[in-house]
């Protein structure tokens, strides 16, 4: 078994490839990983005021967006590179790809480099379930999953593992996507219902998750589709000009967000006035603000994803790597014998 690099061996950076990330997930077990990662994310939300926070740095184009998501708790620094290109699937490419890095603030040296395409899907699902544990109606057992793309199975299993749902009702305008999600979920202990309309998917559901990909102002949920007492987990609206909910729903719901300066630009609440009240999730988790206060309340998690969730995921992966064979040592940092003699190191390497 390999141990992670020690301070005396900082030239080598542990790297987790896609293949090794898949092995790590199977070694831990996906549902266990979702539960444990939800715990890490909640722990970091409880420390929210300690973190550096900034809206992600985005480069938008007609086709999609490329973003950097940085944060630090003063001890460790993390960033994620991530793209979002909804039309990629038409050419056989992923809508979202990502990688991330964790570093030691005291030296600036990286301590982990890892793929984050899979890890982002897992941390997004773990965050959704962690929030639902705070906001969903008590005893929720059924979730409507509107949008059955790459996130849908992770979202469904996270709600099962963390919250205890036993039924997921699937709907997508692409019937093949629904069939794919149903196949993938068939052996995971959930009752899976394929629905022909969004209305039938929502019927009887206490949790409604929306996760569609098109970059447009869309109405995935209209006002008359949403009854009292539900929790809406809106994770598809995640950039300017992309939303999923009718504005009337927002006016009826209690809205909870990660980081308002980012969500007001990228989330569902970009449709609302700048001063429309929202509650930050960390305040609910720490008891500084109220979450669900009545059975008939509509709660809405307007999720766009925030860097602290990636920080939690990177921290979790690094903690789980030590003593495994699930990483490579990358020689990516110059390490001259004399730190002032970088040129001499280059000269000694001459063939």
Domain count, the chain: 2
Q: What is the pTM of this model?
A: 0.93
Distance between CA 228 and CA 245 in Å, rounded?
Answer: 16
What confidence score (pLDDT) does residue 241 get? 74
Residues 145 and 250 both lie in one domain: yes
Using the predicted structure, report yes or no on whether residue 327 has a pLDDT greater than 60: yes
- Cβ proximity of 96 and 116 under 8 Å: no
Residues 78 and 183 both lie in one domain: no
Distance between CA 145 and CA 156 in Å, rounded?
Answer: 8
Residues 279 and 338 both lie in one domain: no
Active site positions, annotated: 238
Residues 163 and 79 both lie in one domain: no
Distance between CA 324 and CA 24 in Å, rounded?
Answer: 9
Residues 149 and 297 both lie in one domain: yes
Mapping DSSP to helix (H, G, I), strand (E, B) and coil, where does residue 123 land? helix
Residues 33 and 161 both lie in one domain: no
What confidence score (pLDDT) does residue 5 get? 64
Distance between CA 156 and CA 182 in Å, rounded?
Answer: 11
Q: Is the dihedral of CA 311, 314, 319, 320 positive or negative?
A: positive
Using the predicted structure, report yes or no on whether residue 216 has a pLDDT greater than 70: no
Closest C-alpha among 278, 248, 244, 245 to residue 260 = 278
Using the predicted structure, report yes or no on whether residue 179 has a pLDDT greater than 60: yes
Distance between CA 66 and CA 200 in Å, rounded?
Answer: 35
Distance between CA 144 and CA 129 in Å, rounded?
Answer: 14
Strands 167-171 and 142-146: what pairing? parallel
Residues 173 and 271 both lie in one domain: yes
* For range 75-99, the mean pLDDT: 92
Average pLDDT, the chain: 93
Instruction: Answer yes or no: is 56 within a domain.
Output: yes
Residue ranges making up the domain that contains 92: 7-118+308-348
* For range 293-306, the mean pLDDT: 96
The residue with tokens 């705070």 is 134
Residues 147 and 270 both lie in one domain: yes
pLDDT band at residue 127 using 50, 70 and 90 as cut-offs: very high
CATH of the domain at 336: 3.30.1780.10
For the chain, the farthest-separated pair of C-alpha atoms sits apart, in whole angstroms, at 74
- Cβ proximity of 235 and 309 under 8 Å: no
Other residues' Cβ atoms within 10 Å of the Cβ of residue 223: 14
Strands 243-245 and 279-280: what pairing? unpaired
Q: What is the pLDDT of residues 258-274, one digit of tens each?
A: 999 999 988 899 989 99
Residues 228 and 300 both lie in one domain: yes
Tokens of residue 36, six digits: 């444990």
Residues 265 and 321 both lie in one domain: no
Residues 335 and 280 both lie in one domain: no
What does DSSP assign to residue 195? Answer: -
């Amino acid at each position: 078994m390999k141990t992670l690099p020690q301070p005396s061996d900082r030239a080598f950076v542990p790297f987790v490839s896609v293949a090794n990330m898949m092995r790590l997930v199977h070694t831990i077990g996906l549902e266990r990983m979702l539960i444990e990662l939800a715990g890490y994310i909640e722990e970091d939300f409880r420390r929210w005021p300690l973190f550096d926070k900034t809206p992600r740095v985005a480069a938008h184009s007609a086709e999609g967006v490329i973003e950097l998501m940085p944060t630090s708790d003063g001890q460790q620094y993390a960033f994620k590179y991530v793209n979002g290109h909804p039309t990629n699937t038409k050419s056989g490419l992923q809508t979202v790809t990502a990688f991330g890095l964790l570093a030691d603030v005291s030296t600036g040296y990286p301590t982990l480099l890892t793929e984050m395409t899979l890890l982002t899907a897992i941390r997004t699902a773990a965050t959704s379930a962690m929030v639902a544990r705070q906001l969903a109606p008590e005893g929720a057992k059924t979730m409507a999953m509107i949008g059955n793309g790459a996130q849908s199975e992770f979202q469904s299993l996270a709600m099962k593992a963390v919250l205890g749902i036993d039924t997921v009702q699937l709907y997508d305008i692409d019937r093949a996507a629904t069939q794919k999600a149903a196949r993938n979920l068939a052996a995971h202990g959930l009752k899976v219902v394929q629905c022909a309309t969004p209305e039938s998917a929502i019927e009887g559901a206490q949790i409604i998750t929306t996760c569609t990909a098109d970059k447009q102002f869309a109405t995935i949920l209209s006002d008359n589709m949403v009854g009292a007492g539900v929790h809406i987990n809106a994770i598809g609206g995640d950039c300017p000009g992309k939303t999923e909910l009718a504005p009337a729903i927002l006016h009826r719901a209690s809205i909870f967000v990660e980081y308002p300066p980012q969500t007001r630009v990228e989330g569902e609440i970009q449709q609302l006035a700048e001063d429309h009240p929202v509650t930050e999730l960390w305040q609910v988790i720490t008891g500084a603000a109220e979450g669900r206060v009545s059975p008939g309340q509509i709660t809405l998690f307007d999720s766009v994803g925030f860097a602290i969730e990636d920080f939690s995921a990177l921290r979790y992966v690094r903690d789980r790597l030590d003593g495994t064979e699930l990483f490579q040592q990358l020689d990516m940092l110059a390490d001259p014998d004399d730190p002032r003699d970088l040129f001499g190191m280059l000269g000694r390497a001459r063939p």
